[in-house]
């Protein structure tokens, strides 16, 4: 067998591969579009996947199978600064070993875990998103709302916590 790609192999829709199939083919390289509904619950609502596909390659060893791959797609996420919903690409790589003794290799679970750990979940709608005004709630990316900025000097916190320290550091 010169090429690991198996053209006539039908990739299971739930990415639960029969271990025996993989061993008999001496490995496999494949990709598949997945149903975003299968990943409900990995993001906090209203964040959600809108498109997802996975590619994976299996390397068969004497008693273990190595699965290497990546998931990529698109998601609607909510900016953690300004709460606006925005669309973003998401991707996550994975690598996991499975026993050749197991009946199935569940790549769906591996993909799910990889997406949960994907850093995109915590991203902002744009670089330097200004967020919301903490007084009136206006989106500051659309312009200033005119509210007076609350004082945010670190000394205002120190004053409350420890009045003595503040006097020591102050110039006469």
Residues found near Zn ion in the complex (CB under 5 A): 79, 81-82, 125, 129, 133, 135-136, 138, 145, 147
Name the maximum alpha-carbon separation found in the chain: 84
Q: Which H or E run includes 21?
A: helix 19-24
Burial of 120 (0-12, 13-18, 19+ CB in 10 A): middle
91 neighbors 74 (Cβ within 8 angstroms)? no
How is residue 122 written in tokens? 């915590």
Closer residue to Zn ion in complex, CB, 37/136: 136
Nearest approach, Cβ of residue 151 and Zn ion (Å): 15
Closest CA relative to residue 109, chosen from 54, 148, 51: 54
Closer residue to Zn ion in complex, CB, 38/133: 133
The 10 Å Cβ neighbour count of residue 2 is 3
Nearest approach, Cβ of residue 52 and Zn ion (Å): 23
Closer residue to Zn ion in complex, CB, 136/164: 136
Closer residue to Zn ion in complex, CB, 117/147: 147
Nearest approach, Cβ of residue 45 and Zn ion (Å): 18
Nearest approach, Cβ of residue 147 and Zn ion (Å): 3
Closer residue to Zn ion in complex, CB, 32/74: 74
Nearest approach, Cβ of residue 79 and Zn ion (Å): 3
Closest CA relative to residue 37, chosen from 94, 108, 122: 108
């Amino acid at each position: 067998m010169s090429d690991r790609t198996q053209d006539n192999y039908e990739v299971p829709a739930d990415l639960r591969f029969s271990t025996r199939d993989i061993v008999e083919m001496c490995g496999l390289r494949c990709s598949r579009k997945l149903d975003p509904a299968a990943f409900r619950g990995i993001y906090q609502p209203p964040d959600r996947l809108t498109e997802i596909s996975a590619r994976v390659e299996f390397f068969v060893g004497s008693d273990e199978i190595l699965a290497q791959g990546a998931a990529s797609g698109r998601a609607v996420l909510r900016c953690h600064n300004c709460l606006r919903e925005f669309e973003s690409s998401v991707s996550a790589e994975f690598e996991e070993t499975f026993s050749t003794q197991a009946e199935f290799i569940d790549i769906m679970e591996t993909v799910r875990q990889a997406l949960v750990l994907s850093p995109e979940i915590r991203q902002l709608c744009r670089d330097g998103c200004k967020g919301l005004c903490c007084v009136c709630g206006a989106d500051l990316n659309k312009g200033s709302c005119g509210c007076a900025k609350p004082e945010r000097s670190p000394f205002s916190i120190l004053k409350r916590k420890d009045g003595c320290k503040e006097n020591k550091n102050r110039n006469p």
